[in-house]
Amino acid sequence: MIERAFVHITGPSGVGKTTLIERLLHSNFSKLLSAIRAEEDEKVEEFDELAILTDPELQRYHEAGAAVVARYRFSPDTRKSDAFFTTDFMFEYSEGVLIEGDLPLGFPPSLTVYVAKPPAEGTSLLRRLTIDRAAMYASELEYAQKFLRSPDGVEKILKSMTPELFDMTDIDVEILGKVHESVLAKLEKKRGKGPLPPVERWMLTEGYSGIESARVVVVNVRSETDRRRAESLLADLKLLREEKDIFDDIIGWKCRRTPITTAAADISNPKDKELRRIITRIKRTFVLN
């Protein structure tokens, strides 16, 4: 099962992710693909698997030609397990999996596709902000002090750092005491140094989180005004990859400065040349897998 290619389609709500999947499925003649709508939900204890064709979104997947369709709700903790791979829909045969929404895998997908909306007039993808490190300093101190005031605070710190180590064993009281002393010492040292001065950093405009690590980015345009704004966004995205200071502030260690595929396309129009180019790029993932 795990040898299949996994393509993650992500982006804000209402930007055309489902429509892009429909276009991809309609253009596919060589591979059997599953289409999954995944939603992270902290209220779900394990996972909730639904494959109901009365669901409008699943119906769209099905009518577009998906071999298997399902809506999968999962808790954040299940990413650390094989829960996704033990679902009924993953036991169904397919040669690739399209995942729309949140990512339930415990590893990077074969390809991440980010569907974006054009920015508002006068808005850039990139913004230069002053970071108040004094406020961050106060918040970090308060966070540490909260744990130290709690009777089981140190135990929570240890479990948050290495949960797999403490799932089945009790923590020795002596270890807790040593950790408590160590945290106290570091807290006093940090308090003595005081906060660092404010610093300016590059950040993404709100609403575009995740675009920085995608290998394919398509901006959905519905008018010439949208296209002009989309081209401005793609120019900023190019700067994000090419300018070292911007790259270091926003991406840093999270991924390499690998070239990405971008396009401004009308996803509602199956004949749009840029859309067809993006679909060809996505389909290559299944061919090469």
Averages of pLDDT over runs of 10 residues in the chain (289 residues) are 83 95 89 92 73 83 92 85 88 93 92 95 89 72 68 62 52 66 68 71 91 95 91 93 89 74 96 96 85
pTM for the full predicted model? 0.77
pLDDT of residue 131: 78
pLDDT of residue 63: 92
Q: How far apart are CA 283 and CA 164, in angstroms?
A: 37
Helix or strand or coil: residue 215? Answer: coil
Q: How far apart are CA 58 and CA 52, in angstroms?
A: 7
Mind giving me the DSSP string for 145-198? HHHHHSTTHHHHHHHHH-HHHHSSSPPPHHHHHHHHHHHHHHHHHHHHH-PPPP
Domain boundaries of the chain, sorted by first residue: 5-122+207-288, 133-193
pLDDT of residue 208: 94
Helix (H) / strand (E) containing 265: strand 261-265
pLDDT of residue 250: 87
Q: Which CATH class is domain 5-122+207-288?
A: alpha beta
Q: How far apart are CA 181 and CA 148, in angstroms?
A: 10
In contact, 6 and 109? CB cutoff 8 Å: yes
pLDDT of residue 177: 67
